[in-house]
Structure 1
Amino acid sequence: MSNTNYSLSEGDIISEEKSSSSKQNICGLCNTNVSKYCCPRCEVYYCSLDCYKSEKHNECSESFYKDCVHEELGFYQNDDESKQKMIDILKRMQNQDVDIDIPEELLEDGYSDIDSDDDEHIDLHDRIKDLNLDDPDAVWSALTEDERNDFESLLNQGDVGSIIPQWKPWWVYRKEEKLVEDMNNHEKEEIFKDCPHLKTVPPLSSLTRTEPSPSIKFNITNIIASYTLLMRYFNGEIDAVEGTVYLLNICSNLDTNMNFEDLATAVESVTQKSLQSNLIETDKNSIEVMKHDTFLVLQGPSKEKKLHYCKAVLSHIHSLLTKAKDAEKNSNDSSKSKSEFSRKFPEHKRHHLPNLDISKVKRCLKKLEYYLSYIESFDVEF
């Protein structure tokens, strides 16, 4: 048997001689087909990829692949784009059934995650679905580094509002009147699920024997107008203490016991107080929305439940003032250890707000209870 010589002379490569007896252009791996290629490593001539990957040539081809990979890694040590290209090359090799191990360099420093859609970027909803969303540190820990950076960037630019969904007030719902109506308890529950819980109050007769003033319903309107403006202003999320301070700043009936003689004056008072306020920044459009919201609250969700929204507003304000009163009593909690989120984003301070008069808050709570009893005891028409 003749000894196959893998190193062919230049004369043999360029020769166009077609002698059937010559084996110099025959594949050096299968010894059958005419060769078309030359291995750049061992210089053997071969006819196809199958021959190149054959067991006879395996040691050379595998070594060649490994050398190429290591050479590329050394060339692009800190270039993420190039590393991604190298991963793609390796994947193509694997798709061609090339028996080659992925180098350890690609399995370090998180490079193995490039091919797995990056497990860190699991959908945010899935990452926080079991968390207490009122715990800022738990939510902060669930964010990726990029998400944290994006959040801080929005804070620095003052664009946080651009990612906060617009709150839809619960009082905008109005039940459609139908001649024939199918009573559906589930539907009724859905209507009022976002409404504040109604506070239970005693009948007015148990509180006083004095005849109620006709101005009470106008005073209630002044409170409702103030409330709707503030709920829109805070996008539905209102802090008890801050909200109480803002409410007293624009609601003359609660702040100074002012009485009103008609609806227009009660609403206009809120307009003027908010425009003159040093705390609230409002405009003509916000004022028009406030007036429309006040009308919707007074109208109620239906004829049968026409006072439900009024009672819901007064109940919610009563809850806010109660929380504000309790918070002011327990405000000496500054000794708490600071968590990661608290250190990075210190708790909002209220130094810019006027001091909250607790005695006034207590008087307002009594007034709200009186108004609620009045609505429960009388069929009020606004």
Structure 2
Amino acid sequence: MSDEKSSKINQNTCGLCDEKPSKYCCPRCEVFYCSLDCYKSERHIQCSESFYRECVSNELMSHNADDESKNKMIDILKRMQDEDNIDIDDLVEYDDVDSDDGNEIGLEERIKGLNLDDADAVWNALTEDERNEFEALLNQGDVGSILPQWEPWWMYHRETKLVEEVTDGGTDDEALKKCPVLKSVPKFESLTSVKPSPAIKNNITNVLASYVFIARYFNGDVEPVEGTICFLNICDNLDSNTNFEEPAIAVESVVQKCLQSELIQTDEASLEVMKKDLFLVIRGPSEENSKYYCKAALSHLHQILSKAKSQEKVSKPSSVTVKTDFSRKFPEHEKKHLPSLDVSKVKKSIKKVEYYLSYIESFNMDFE
């Protein structure tokens, strides 16, 4: 039986009685269990008593630990003892409650003034419980659940009304401020006198589909080098100069490259989102500004490619890496699994993106 199948079976069966289906997961030791009886069982007593001890301490501190509050809590604990056979003397530690250490400073206050990009400084500001909670999230693969979901700037669209009030304004100014800054490019006729290929709109579609997927994949914060490597891995037009006869084929190419990629992990649902995002980008914020999102997307892509080119030129492997508390526990994300970045290909891609930007500025992306 594979480790993956064995893990699923373990999660479906109570890890304390080994009989009934599990319904819950202990936040401390992460064991899967089926009921309160199992949670309070002998096999789990050390973890459950620790939980009760923390609850008692928090409750006493919340009442300023005065004598009356303590006595009330002890009465409650005695009733619990009769039911659960819990040793109250082990739970209530008066010295700990009476000490000033219980007046813990809030996280916001502790990190005030810290450089939040300094992982060690932030890590040292956390309490032991906060560190344990962070590690538990990493171990469970749930750390993404605490990250805010990025809202793409292309989600806004203003429908044209047949009749509009004069006071409506009818402008997209606020929405356009959230978009990437547009890259200034020369007029298309100054770049070439050759008539563009009929496939150019389909090729731009392939580039835009790759861009919106990568933007979502990195949750709106695209790391230049890794993002460029992943982008070129799924964009056949810029990676291998492929031309597309139809827009649908240009989009399907991205879908298949994503599914086949060894660098990207995705699913059909995410690729459906990519198609919807592509439609929104090509549609634009409004009828009057129909080209704006396409230009903003290509401008942002141009910025990512340019940063990747610069970083790859100046990056030099460090001979000595100083290990800190945080880096020892959580090694820095390595890029060893990624192929090397072809800077010459990046330069050609930058020029091609500028060409596409100039084309859209002079023409449009209508597929009629």
**TM-score computed with the length of structure 1 as normaliser:** 0.67
1:112 paired to 2:97: no
Q: Deviations over 1:181-204 (max 9, x none)?
A: 53669x844312331111111112
Q: Deviations over 1:114-159 (max 9, x none)?
A: 3xxx332x2x455546544434334334433322221122112222
1:168 paired to 2:151: yes
What is aligned with 2:312? 328
What is aligned with 1:304? 288
Deviation at 1:107, TM superposition (A): 8.5
Q: Deviations over 1:324-376 (max 9, x none)?
A: 11121222152464444334322211111111111101100010011111111
The 1-side partners of 2:236 and 2:70 are apart by 75
**TM-score computed with the length of structure 2 as normaliser:** 0.69
What is aligned with 1:144? 127
When structure 1 is superposed on structure 2, of 195-204 and 126-135 the one drifting more is 126-135
**Selected match of 1:355 from 320, 337, 340:** 340
What is aligned with 2:20? none
What is aligned with 1:102? none
Distance of aligned partners of 1:127 and 1:172 in 2 relative to their CA distance in 1, 3 Å threshold = farther
More helix per residue: 1 or 2?
2
What is aligned with 2:66? 88
Distance of aligned partners of 1:380 and 1:148 in 2 relative to their CA distance in 1, 3 Å threshold = same
The 1-side partners of 2:166 and 2:293 are apart by 22
1:233 paired to 2:217: yes
What is aligned with 1:16? none
Distance of aligned partners of 1:237 and 1:82 in 2 relative to their CA distance in 1, 3 Å threshold = closer
Other structure's SS at 1:201 match: coil
Q: Deviations over 1:50-106 (max 9, x none)?
A: xxxxxxxxxxxxxxxxxxxxxxxxxxxxx885895994218899xxxxxxxxxxx98
Distance of aligned partners of 1:188 and 1:139 in 2 relative to their CA distance in 1, 3 Å threshold = farther
The 2-side partners of 1:190 and 1:129 are apart by 31
1:253 paired to 2:231: no
Structure 1, unmatched stretches of 5+, are: 1-78, 94-104
Other structure's SS at 1:312 match: helix
**If you compute each CA radius of gyration, which structure gives the higher value, 1 or 2?**
1
Contact in 2 for aligned 1:218/1:263 (Cα 8 Å): yes
The 2-side partners of 1:364 and 1:247 are apart by 11
Number of equivalenced pairs: 287
What is aligned with 1:158? 141
The 2-side partners of 1:188 and 1:133 are apart by 34
Matches within 5 A, 1:199-218: 199-218=183-202
1:270 paired to 2:248: no
Contact in 2 for aligned 1:106/1:112 (Cα 8 Å): no
- Identity rate, percent: 57
Structure 2, unmatched stretches of 5+, are: 1-52, 72-92
The 2-side partners of 1:301 and 1:126 are apart by 41
Other structure's SS at 2:149 match: coil
The 2-side partners of 1:331 and 1:172 are apart by 36
